[in-house]
């Protein structure tokens, strides 16, 4: 049996992390399978251990590849939300869906991107009644996918999965600075600017120094405040080091399919301050929540955790089902 793993459209940090996890787990447990990876041409981190072809992230180029090559494959696994661009008969197809923005009109992003998402949603809708398997990482995403594009609920499986992190990771802080970390990107729904405004306004009862670090370069954000640090894009090891050197993960994003930093941070002795958006409740129990659209709400939360001596610990409320996920996508091979 020959398998196609279609990773076209995967080029963001979260998407590349999903791809890396799949490659590692496949190589560990199913290394004898005949697999070809179809990778997005924007993905420069090609893995030399795998067989792969490169495709431009367009409907046209993806369709050309499928028309020319699909007869070679018995099983297709699409990792980037969108089903195959042509009708497939007598093929096993599994789609990993992990982009909540495709299922909603988001006021935080512009008209062009909302329109593109609407088009992709229409493509998903057209394929929803075929005999495809769908995988999401939370029950909320299952509900949204079924409701928004009418994918039958019995075709959707829920497998939360993430990279294993050693338990009881130590805090390596060696100073008295109270540190806030936001593992983020430049997407508008991440609410970077409103967080920065809230942090600048925050006032504290003590003389404790505070700092906010964000994993973006800050090019489009005007801030000369020395307490705000733009770390730029970090490697996984660098992000883990930041987790080890912080007190609070602050997470104002209003829309996530999973929210991997929320999961990762629970393996460290830090507390989570998160948006009161619905998706959070399916992943973690944060120490405190706030309204991501309100500067005052975020400001009050920051002030509260610095001025109070003790707040409730955060905890993970999902299990890692990576093994079940891998077994499911490679079932019947």
Whichever domain contains 65, its CATH number is 3.40.50.11820
Closest CA to 254 of 212, 293, 300: 293
**Predicted pLDDT at 322:** 95
**Predicted pLDDT at 285:** 98
Q: Which two tokens stand for residue 272?
A: 């989570």
Which ranges of 30-151 would DSSP assign to H, the alpha helix?
59-69, 111-127, 139-149
Tally of structural domains, the chain: 2
Pairwise CA distance, residues 32 & 1, whole Å: 11
pLDDT digits (tens, 9 = 90+) for 170-198: 566 667 889 999 999 988 899 999 999 99
Judge whether 173 lies within some domain: no
Judge whether 170 lies within some domain: no
Pairwise CA distance, residues 29 & 329, whole Å: 12
270 lies in which domain range? 178-316
Lowest model confidence (mean pLDDT) among 32-46, 265-279, 289-303: 32-46
- Sequential DSSP letters for 3-53: EEEEETT--SHHHHHHHHHHHHHHHHH-TTSEEEEEEETT-----TTS-EE
**Predicted pLDDT at 49:** 79
Whichever domain contains 309, its CATH number is 3.40.50.2000
Judge whether 171 lies within some domain: no
Tell me: do 207 and 90 sit in the same domain: no
pLDDT digits (tens, 9 = 90+) for 134-165: 999 999 999 999 998 888 899 999 999 998 77
């Amino acid at each position: 049996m020959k398998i196609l793993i279609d990773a076209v459209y995967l080029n963001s940090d979260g998407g590349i992390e999903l791809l890396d996890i799949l490659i590692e787990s496949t190589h560990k447990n199913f290394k004898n399978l005949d697999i070809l990876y179809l990778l997005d041409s924007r993905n420069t981190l090609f893995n030399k251990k795998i067989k792969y072809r490169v495709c431009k992230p367009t409907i046209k180029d993806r369709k050309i590849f499928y028309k020319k090559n699909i007869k070679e494959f018995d099983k297709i696994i699409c990792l980037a939300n969108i089903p195959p661009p042509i009708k497939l008969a007598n093929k096993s197809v599994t789609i990993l869906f992990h982009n909540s923005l495709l299922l909603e009109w988001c006021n935080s992003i512009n008209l062009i991107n909302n329109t593109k998402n609407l088009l992709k949603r229409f493509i998903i809708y057209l394929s929803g009644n075929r005999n495809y398997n769908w995988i999401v990482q939370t029950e909320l995403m299952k509900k949204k996918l079924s409701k928004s594009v009418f994918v039958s609920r019995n075709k959707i499986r829920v497998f939360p999965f993430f990279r294993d992190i050693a338990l009881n990771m130590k805090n390596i802080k060696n100073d008295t600075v109270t540190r806030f970390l936001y593992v983020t990107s430049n997407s508008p729904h991440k609410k970077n600017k409103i967080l920065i405004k809230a942090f600048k306004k925050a006032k504290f009862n003590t003389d404790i120094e505070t700092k906010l670090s964000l994993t973006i370069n800050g090019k489009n954000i005007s801030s000369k405040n020395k307490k705000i640090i733009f770390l730029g894009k970090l490697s996984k090891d660098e992000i883990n080091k930041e987790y080890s050197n912080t007190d609070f993960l602050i997470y104002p994003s209003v829309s996530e399919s999973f929210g991997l930093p929320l999961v990762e941070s629970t393996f460290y002795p830090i507390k989570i301050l998160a948006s009161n958006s619905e998706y959070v409740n399916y992943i973690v129990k944060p120490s405190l929540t706030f309204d991501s659209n309100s500067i005052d709400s975020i400001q009050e939360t920051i002030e509260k955790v610095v001025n109070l001596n003790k707040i409730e610990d955060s905890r993970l409320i999902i299990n890692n089902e990576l093994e079940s996920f891998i077994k499911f996508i490679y079932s019947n091979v």
